[in-house]
């Protein structure tokens, strides 16, 4: 049985009807794939930005750690200086002040002593005047 031209055309038409939904599906898949490519490109860009930011954060943290170590070293130097230089000097100063406090205590007694001496001199003057006029 040989196929006629009309048979072939009818078969062609049936095939087109069957193929048309496949073409639509394939076009939809192409669109979806293109959307996925676009999304992946955006994801790649975001990941790249995140990596750059991560590197910046690592650099900043490293600088902070270096600065922190420098501060620790300076604090240690300050502590050593305080212990070896400042505290002994403060101790000497405090000891000097205790001597000054003793002197101040004695100076507080001085006005009374001066008053006693003045009274004694006054009495001696009076007695001496009395002896020199006779």
Express each pLDDT in 66-104 by its tens digit: 999 999 999 999 999 999 998 888 888 888 777 777 777
Instruction: Tally the residues of the chain.
Output: 134
- Give the range with max mean pLDDT: 11-20, 75-84, 100-109: 75-84
pLDDT average, residue stretch 21-46: 94
4 Ramachandran zone, left/alpha/beta (phi>0; psi -120 to 50)? beta
- pTM for the whole structure: 0.48
């Amino acid at each position: 049985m040989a196929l006629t031209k009309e048979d072939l055309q009818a078969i062609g038409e049936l095939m087109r009807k069957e193929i048309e939904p496949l073409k639509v599906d394939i076009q939809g898949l192409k669109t979806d794939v293109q959307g996925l490519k676009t999304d992946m490109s955006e994801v790649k860009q975001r990941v790249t930005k995140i990596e750059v930011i991560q590197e910046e954060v690592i650099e900043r943290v490293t600088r902070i750690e270096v600065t922190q170590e420098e501060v620790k070293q300076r604090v240690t130097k300050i502590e050593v200086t305080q212990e070896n230089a400042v505290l002994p000097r403060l101790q000497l100063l405090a000891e000097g002040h205790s001597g000054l406090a003793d002197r101040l205590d004695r100076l507080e007694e001085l006005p009374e002593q001066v008053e006693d001496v003045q009274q004694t001199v006054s009495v001696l003057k009076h007695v001496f005047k009395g002896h020199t006029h006779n």
